[in-house]
Structure 1
Amino acid sequence: MISLIVTVEVHPERVEEFIQYITEEAADARTKEPGCRRFEISQSVDKPNLFTLTEGYDDLAALEAHRATPHFLLFRQRADSG
Protein backbone atom coordinates (compact mmCIF):
# COMPACT_ATOMS: atom_id res chain seq x y z
CA MET A 1 0.00 0.00 0.00
CA ILE A 2 1.11 3.55 -0.75
CA SER A 3 0.18 6.12 1.90
CA LEU A 4 0.28 9.88 1.50
CA ILE A 5 -0.02 12.54 4.14
CA VAL A 6 -0.47 15.94 2.54
CA THR A 7 -0.57 19.21 4.46
CA VAL A 8 -2.30 22.11 2.74
CA GLU A 9 -2.43 25.69 3.97
CA VAL A 10 -5.31 27.52 2.29
CA HIS A 11 -5.71 31.28 2.02
CA PRO A 12 -8.15 32.13 4.84
CA GLU A 13 -10.63 33.70 2.41
CA ARG A 14 -10.78 30.45 0.37
CA VAL A 15 -11.36 27.93 3.17
CA GLU A 16 -15.05 27.27 2.40
CA GLU A 17 -14.31 26.96 -1.30
CA PHE A 18 -11.45 24.54 -0.58
CA ILE A 19 -13.64 22.42 1.67
CA GLN A 20 -16.19 22.08 -1.12
CA TYR A 21 -13.56 21.11 -3.71
CA ILE A 22 -11.60 18.70 -1.51
CA THR A 23 -14.78 17.03 -0.25
CA GLU A 24 -15.82 16.38 -3.86
CA GLU A 25 -12.33 15.12 -4.71
CA ALA A 26 -12.26 12.74 -1.73
CA ALA A 27 -15.71 11.33 -2.52
CA ASP A 28 -14.81 10.82 -6.18
CA ALA A 29 -11.52 9.13 -5.30
CA ARG A 30 -13.18 6.76 -2.83
CA THR A 31 -16.10 5.85 -5.11
CA LYS A 32 -14.61 5.97 -8.60
CA GLU A 33 -11.12 4.58 -8.06
CA PRO A 34 -10.82 0.88 -7.21
CA GLY A 35 -7.21 1.39 -6.07
CA CYS A 36 -8.05 4.13 -3.57
CA ARG A 37 -8.48 2.66 -0.09
CA ARG A 38 -8.60 5.85 1.95
CA PHE A 39 -9.00 9.58 1.42
CA GLU A 40 -9.61 11.47 4.63
CA ILE A 41 -9.70 15.21 5.27
CA SER A 42 -8.78 16.79 8.59
CA GLN A 43 -9.03 20.48 9.43
CA SER A 44 -6.94 21.99 12.20
CA VAL A 45 -8.87 23.29 15.18
CA ASP A 46 -6.19 25.85 16.04
CA LYS A 47 -5.60 27.04 12.49
CA PRO A 48 -8.78 26.50 10.44
CA ASN A 49 -7.05 27.17 7.12
CA LEU A 50 -4.67 24.23 7.65
CA PHE A 51 -5.74 20.81 6.35
CA THR A 52 -4.22 17.35 6.39
CA LEU A 53 -5.18 14.83 3.72
CA THR A 54 -4.53 11.15 4.43
CA GLU A 55 -4.67 8.99 1.33
CA GLY A 56 -4.07 5.30 0.77
CA TYR A 57 -3.66 3.50 -2.56
CA ASP A 58 -3.13 -0.16 -3.41
CA ASP A 59 0.16 0.57 -5.17
CA LEU A 60 2.07 3.16 -7.18
CA ALA A 61 0.00 2.41 -10.28
CA ALA A 62 -3.20 3.26 -8.37
CA LEU A 63 -1.69 6.55 -7.16
CA GLU A 64 -0.59 7.45 -10.68
CA ALA A 65 -4.05 6.55 -11.99
CA HIS A 66 -5.56 8.85 -9.34
CA ARG A 67 -3.39 11.74 -10.49
CA ALA A 68 -4.63 11.25 -14.07
CA THR A 69 -8.38 11.20 -13.31
CA PRO A 70 -10.60 14.03 -14.55
CA HIS A 71 -11.78 14.79 -11.00
CA PHE A 72 -8.19 15.13 -9.72
CA LEU A 73 -7.23 17.36 -12.64
CA LEU A 74 -10.31 19.52 -11.99
CA PHE A 75 -9.40 19.75 -8.30
CA ARG A 76 -5.86 20.84 -9.21
CA GLN A 77 -7.21 23.46 -11.60
CA ARG A 78 -9.54 24.83 -8.93
CA ALA A 79 -6.88 24.72 -6.22
CA ASP A 80 -4.28 26.46 -8.39
CA SER A 81 -6.62 29.26 -9.51
CA GLY A 82 -7.21 32.36 -7.49
Structure 2
Amino acid sequence: MALGIIATIEAQADQVEFVGQTLQEVVPPSRRDDGCEHYTLTRDRENERVFVMVEQWRDRAALEAHLATEHYRQMAATLENRIAQMSVREYDILT
Protein backbone atom coordinates (compact mmCIF):
# COMPACT_ATOMS: atom_id res chain seq x y z
CA MET A 1 0.00 0.00 0.00
CA ALA A 2 1.23 3.50 -0.85
CA LEU A 3 2.33 5.68 2.06
CA GLY A 4 1.48 9.37 2.37
CA ILE A 5 3.51 11.84 4.39
CA ILE A 6 2.57 15.36 5.44
CA ALA A 7 5.48 17.15 7.08
CA THR A 8 4.80 20.58 8.57
CA ILE A 9 7.92 22.66 9.15
CA GLU A 10 7.87 26.02 10.92
CA ALA A 11 10.95 28.14 10.35
CA GLN A 12 12.41 30.33 13.05
CA ALA A 13 11.35 33.93 12.43
CA ASP A 14 14.79 35.00 11.19
CA GLN A 15 15.34 31.88 9.06
CA VAL A 16 12.26 31.85 6.79
CA GLU A 17 14.02 32.47 3.48
CA PHE A 18 16.89 30.11 4.29
CA VAL A 19 14.53 27.30 5.30
CA GLY A 20 12.37 27.84 2.22
CA GLN A 21 15.36 27.74 -0.11
CA THR A 22 16.80 24.64 1.57
CA LEU A 23 13.46 22.82 1.32
CA GLN A 24 13.12 23.79 -2.35
CA GLU A 25 16.56 22.38 -3.10
CA VAL A 26 15.67 18.92 -1.76
CA VAL A 27 12.57 18.57 -3.97
CA PRO A 28 14.18 17.71 -7.36
CA PRO A 29 16.48 14.93 -6.08
CA SER A 30 13.69 13.55 -3.88
CA ARG A 31 11.35 13.32 -6.86
CA ARG A 32 13.99 11.17 -8.56
CA ASP A 33 14.22 8.74 -5.61
CA ASP A 34 13.03 5.23 -6.41
CA GLY A 35 9.49 4.81 -5.14
CA CYS A 36 8.64 8.52 -5.00
CA GLU A 37 5.17 8.99 -6.46
CA HIS A 38 4.55 12.58 -5.34
CA TYR A 39 6.69 15.22 -3.60
CA THR A 40 5.49 18.81 -3.30
CA LEU A 41 6.53 21.75 -1.15
CA THR A 42 3.87 24.29 -0.17
CA ARG A 43 3.79 27.37 2.03
CA ASP A 44 0.97 28.41 4.33
CA ARG A 45 -0.79 31.52 2.97
CA GLU A 46 -1.58 32.83 6.44
CA ASN A 47 1.79 32.16 8.08
CA GLU A 48 4.87 32.51 5.85
CA ARG A 49 6.99 30.67 8.42
CA VAL A 50 5.08 27.41 7.84
CA PHE A 51 6.03 25.07 5.02
CA VAL A 52 4.20 21.81 4.26
CA MET A 53 5.79 18.92 2.39
CA VAL A 54 3.23 16.56 0.82
CA GLU A 55 4.70 13.23 -0.22
CA GLN A 56 3.59 9.87 -1.53
CA TRP A 57 5.85 6.81 -1.51
CA ARG A 58 5.30 3.42 -3.11
CA ASP A 59 5.78 1.76 0.29
CA ARG A 60 7.64 2.09 3.59
CA ALA A 61 10.85 0.68 2.07
CA ALA A 62 10.88 3.52 -0.49
CA LEU A 63 10.41 6.09 2.28
CA GLU A 64 13.17 4.53 4.37
CA ALA A 65 15.51 4.59 1.37
CA HIS A 66 14.69 8.28 0.85
CA LEU A 67 15.46 9.07 4.50
CA ALA A 68 18.89 7.47 4.05
CA THR A 69 19.85 9.50 0.95
CA GLU A 70 22.58 12.08 1.10
CA HIS A 71 20.27 14.88 -0.10
CA TYR A 72 17.75 14.18 2.68
CA ARG A 73 20.38 13.81 5.42
CA GLN A 74 22.13 17.01 4.29
CA MET A 75 18.84 18.93 4.31
CA ALA A 76 17.96 17.65 7.80
CA ALA A 77 21.39 18.58 9.17
CA THR A 78 21.28 22.03 7.56
CA LEU A 79 17.86 22.84 9.04
CA GLU A 80 18.49 21.35 12.49
CA ASN A 81 18.86 24.67 14.34
CA ARG A 82 16.82 26.81 11.96
CA ILE A 83 13.32 25.50 12.53
CA ALA A 84 11.01 26.28 15.44
CA GLN A 85 9.04 23.05 15.18
CA MET A 86 8.21 20.19 12.87
CA SER A 87 5.56 17.49 12.76
CA VAL A 88 5.35 14.48 10.45
CA ARG A 89 2.15 12.50 9.92
CA GLU A 90 1.84 9.25 7.96
CA TYR A 91 -1.23 8.20 6.00
CA ASP A 92 -2.36 5.16 4.06
CA ILE A 93 -3.21 6.19 0.49
CA LEU A 94 -6.67 4.82 -0.28
CA THR A 95 -7.27 6.15 -3.81
- C-alpha displacement of 1:81: 3.4
The corresponding residue for 1:52 is 52
Q: Distance in 2 between the 1:62 and 1:34 partners?
A: 7
Greater mean alpha carbon deviation, residues 60-69 or residues 12-21: 12-21
Which structure's relative contact order is higher, taking Cα pairs within 8 Å and 6+ residues apart? 2
Contact 2:20 2:51 in 1 (8 A): no
State, as a whole percentage, how many aligned pairs show the same letter.
27
The corresponding residue for 1:80 is 80
Q: CA RMSD in A?
A: 1.0
Greater mean alpha carbon deviation, residues 3-12 or residues 64-73: 3-12
The count of residues paired between Structure 1 and Structure 2 equals 81
User: Which structure carries more strand by proportion?
Assistant: 2
Q: Deviations over 1:4-60 (max 9, x none)?
A: 0111111121111111111111111002x1211111111111110011110110000
Which runs of 4 or more aligned residues in structure 1 lie more than 3 Å from their structure 2 counterparts after TM superposition? none
TM normalised by structure 1 equals 0.92
| Structure 2 segments unaligned to the other structure (5+ residues) | 83-95
TM normalised by structure 2 equals 0.80
Contact 2:67 2:73 in 1 (8 A): yes
The corresponding residue for 2:10 is 9
Q: Deviations over 1:48-80 (max 9, x none)?
A: 001111011000000000000000000010010
User: Which structure carries more helix by proportion?
Assistant: 1
